[in-house]
């Protein structure tokens, strides 16, 4: 544990690369992209993306142009797609850094066509049709409008047609088949104008729905970082992170007393407590108060009381005194409690846990390209 930090996050870049290769094995014949938005799901895109490139990934996906610009500097030959679409104000970035917008509505399509007409050579784009998510993408009326006016697609450089699954982590959910059928119907309507076009439907969980959902380009994100894409099954992905917090103080409660803000948790006299230097400012969620758990050399120590901004209290009454001592490191995410387990205890999802890890937490990277 670094002397100047209260918590340490270890990121295994080799595990991320292994997860990428595992996803490729699941979909032979298709290209597997890597979603590295939100700073590589909070783990550092500047370290994650080169590791994925070294593992064979050539297509990277971000949410906004500001995420794409530093990525282009790192990976000059990569294909980089921007999910949130095209904004005329950001047009110079798309041209200068060779970014591929995901066009989400007719206004973006029209603006992109006008922009593209002024380029020395047409730039590629992805067209997003909504198949049931009702978030981004062209609706049925928009698809019909394009089918009736195919000239609106001329010069747009559309090489890929995509949609996004809403319930892919539930393999038996009827929405999966419904969305697949809706996507196929939209493709059939647009293909006379588009010509042969690549397709992209599957996210992390969609990769495991089988070949009918794979298409030409898969877009996993969470699974790369160790989140279970098949919640009802054993996680097929390697765990990527470990998070440890430093014990600052150990005390014995000498009588029945309460712990932390709001006196929300009561402990009996004789219990041993440890205060760990991590809190919600570091991304250890406040919802984990009296619900989270830490481990010290395999010994379980439940969180007691509310999580503070900088501190968390754990009950170490069943942990040997020589193990639970000031300066020792308590495992908060790791071999005994993975990201998904922490998320479940906090009433959220692993995505939020990863992307919420604060920059104050010291970071250590292991593995990765030489």
pLDDT digits (tens, 9 = 90+) for 276-295: 999 999 999 999 999 999 99
CA distance 107 to 88: 11
pLDDT digits (tens, 9 = 90+) for 310-349: 999 999 999 999 999 999 999 999 999 999 999 999 999 9
In this predicted structure, what is the pLDDT of residue 64?
A: 97
In this predicted structure, what is the pLDDT of residue 112?
A: 96
Does the pLDDT value for residue 126 go beyond 90?
A: yes
Does the pLDDT value for residue 185 go beyond 80?
A: yes
Does the pLDDT value for residue 260 go beyond 90?
A: no
pLDDT digits (tens, 9 = 90+) for 94-121: 999 999 999 999 999 999 999 999 988 8
What domains are defined for the chain?
Answer: 13-225 (3.20.20.10), 241-348 (2.40.37.10)
In this prediction, residue 122 has a pLDDT band, given cuts at 50, 70 and 90, of confident
Closest to 349 (Cα-Cα) out of 138, 42, 25: 42
Q: Are 237 and 21 in contact (CB under 8 A)?
A: no
In this predicted structure, what is the pLDDT of residue 258?
A: 84
In this predicted structure, what is the pLDDT of residue 7?
A: 97
In this predicted structure, what is the pLDDT of residue 262?
A: 87
CA distance 222 to 237: 10
Tokens 């002024």 sit on residue: 118
**Phi (first) and psi of residue 244, to 5 degrees:** -125, 145
| Mean model confidence pLDDT for the chain | 95
SS (H, E, C) 140-205: HHHHHHHHHCHHHHCCCCEEEEECCCCCCCCCCCHHHHHHHHHHHHHHHHHHHHHCCCEEECCCHH
In this predicted structure, what is the pLDDT of residue 25?
A: 96
In this prediction, residue 246 has a pLDDT band, given cuts at 50, 70 and 90, of very high
Q: Quote the crossing angle between the two packed helices 140-148 and 106-117, to the nearest 10°.
A: 40
CA distance 290 to 307: 8
Q: 177-183 contacts: CB < 8 A, separation 24 or more?
A: 178/131, 178/132, 179/131, 179/132, 179/133, 180/131, 180/212, 180/213, 182/131, 182/132, 183/129, 183/131
CA distance 138 to 105: 5
In this predicted structure, what is the pLDDT of residue 254?
A: 82
pLDDT digits (tens, 9 = 90+) for 12-63: 999 999 999 999 999 999 999 999 999 999 999 999 999 999 999 999 999 9
| Residue 225 annotated as catalytic | no
Q: Copy the structure tokens of residue 256.
A: 């029945």
Which is catalytic among the residues 20, 37, 41, 351?
37
Give the angle 125-129-130 at the CA atoms, nearest 5°: 145
Work out the percent of the chain whose per-residue pLDDT is above 90: 90
Does the pLDDT value for residue 275 go beyond 90?
A: yes
In this predicted structure, what is the pLDDT of residue 3?
A: 83
Q: Are 45 and 35 in contact (CB under 8 A)?
A: no
Q: Are 146 and 190 in contact (CB under 8 A)?
A: yes
Which is catalytic among the residues 225, 244, 246, 261?
261
In this predicted structure, what is the pLDDT of residue 167?
A: 96
| Residue 246 annotated as catalytic | no
pTM, two decimals, is: 0.95
Query: What's the Cα-to-Cα distance from 83 to each of 5, 37, 60, 219, rounded to whole Å?
Result: 35, 9, 11, 11
Does the pLDDT value for residue 273 go beyond 90?
A: yes
Q: Copy the structure tokens of residue 59.
A: 């297509």
Does the pLDDT value for residue 370 go beyond 80?
A: no
pLDDT digits (tens, 9 = 90+) for 73-93: 999 999 999 999 999 999 999
């Amino acid at each position: 544990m670094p002397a100047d930090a209260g918590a340490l996050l270890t990121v295994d870049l080799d595990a991320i690369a292994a997860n990428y290769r595992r996803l490729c094995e699941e979909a032979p014949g298709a290209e597997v992209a890597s979603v590295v938005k939100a700073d590589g799901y909070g783990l550092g895109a500047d370290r994650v993306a080169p590791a994925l490139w070294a593992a064979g990934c050539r297509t990277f996906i971000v949410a906004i142009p500001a995420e794409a610009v530093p990525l282009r500097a790192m990976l000059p030959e990569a294909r980089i797609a921007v999910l949130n679409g095209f904004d005329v104000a950001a047009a110079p970035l798309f041209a200068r850094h060779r970014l591929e917008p995901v066009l989400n509505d007719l206004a973006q399509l029209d603006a992109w066509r006008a922009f593209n007409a002024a380029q020395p050579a047409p730039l590629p784009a992805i067209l997003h049709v909504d198949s049931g998510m009702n978030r981004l993408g062209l609706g049925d009326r928009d698809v019909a409008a394009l089918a009736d006016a195919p000239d609106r697609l001329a010069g747009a450089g559309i090489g890929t047609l995509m949609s996004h699954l809403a319930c892919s982590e539930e393999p038996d959910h009827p929405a999966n088949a419904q969305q697949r059928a809706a996507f196929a119907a939209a493709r059939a309507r647009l293909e006379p104008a588009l010509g042969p076009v690549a397709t992209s439907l599957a996210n992390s969980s969609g990769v495991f729905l089988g070949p009918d959902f794979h298409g030409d380009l898969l877009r996993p994100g969470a699974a790369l970082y160790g989140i279970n894409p098949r919640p009802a099954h054993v996680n097929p992905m390697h765990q990527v992170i470990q998070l440890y917090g430093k014990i600052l103080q150990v005390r014995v409660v000498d009588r029945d007393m309460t712990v932390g803000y709001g006196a929300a948790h009561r402990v009996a006299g004789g219990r041993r407590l440890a205060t760990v230097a991590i809190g919600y400012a570091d991304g250890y969620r406040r919802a984990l108060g009296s619900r989270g758990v830490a481990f010290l050399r395999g010994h379980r120590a439940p969180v007691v009381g509310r999580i503070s901004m900088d501190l968390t209290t754990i009950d170490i009454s069943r942990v040997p005194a020589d193990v639970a001592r000031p300066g020792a490191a308590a495992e908060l995410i790791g071999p005994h409690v993975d990201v998904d387990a922490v998320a479940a205890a906090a009433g959220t999802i692993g995505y939020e846990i990863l992307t919420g890890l604060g920059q104050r937490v010291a970071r250590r990277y292991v593995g990765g390209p030489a």
